[in-house]
Amino acid sequence: MKLHREGTTIMITALAVTIALGLINSIFLYHHSKAISIGIDLLLLVMLFLVVQFFRIPTRHAVYAENQIICPADGKVVVIEEVEETEYFKDKRIQVSIFMSPLNVHANYYPIKGRLPFVKYHPGKFLVAWHPKSSTENERTTIVISNDKGVEILVRQIAGAVARRICYYGQEEEHVEQGGELGFIKFGSRVDLFLPLDTKVDVKLEDKVQAKLTSIGFLS
């Protein structure tokens, strides 16, 4: 396991604050109440651990089958339905949405390999991730991947009430690898996939999924 570069500044700041508050605690409180002082130290360490674990990146290796769509994010499947995708496709697609809690790994990965014909960032609101309008009104990034057969799928990173920073790394016309790093959503939120209607979907509602390991389905 390693720590993601997107968390470097936050983790250094959290460490500095923990050390500073720990020193203040030991100087002013330890001699008055050892129990309370030790409790504060433990609380500071737990908070530091939680901040660090937000940016953990576990080592994962998998072999993918032809036409397989791999999961782009850790979390829980909260939506599987046929919808009208209005930004890029402007037609019916299967939407699969994955909710990322603050305890999940927050890195996102490309579900298939191919070319990026469309990449667009949208500033927006910070509604809770399960709000019906979060996918169209929240801060979000839309990324379309076209495979070597010209089949396209859309990945949308969506910020939420806690997640206030979306990072994405791909540029239009860039070629990307399946399982390559797509981006990062700080402190979790939601990732939507929009798939062709004839996609064979492997996941079910409420499934807990893992990026790069869980199969979302197969393209026809």
Catalytic one of 134, 189, 215, 220:
189
Indicate if 189 belongs to the active site: yes
Answer for the pair 54, 102: CB distance below 8 angstroms, yes or no. yes
Answer for the pair 98, 71: CB distance below 8 angstroms, yes or no. yes
DSSP string, 150-191: S-EEEEEEE--SS---EEE---TT-EE-TT-EEEEETT--EE
In sequence order, the β-bridge partners of residue 86 are none
Q: How far apart are CA 64 and CA 78, in angstroms?
A: 24
Q: How far apart are CA 116 and CA 195, in angstroms?
A: 15
User: Which residues are designated catalytic?
Assistant: 189
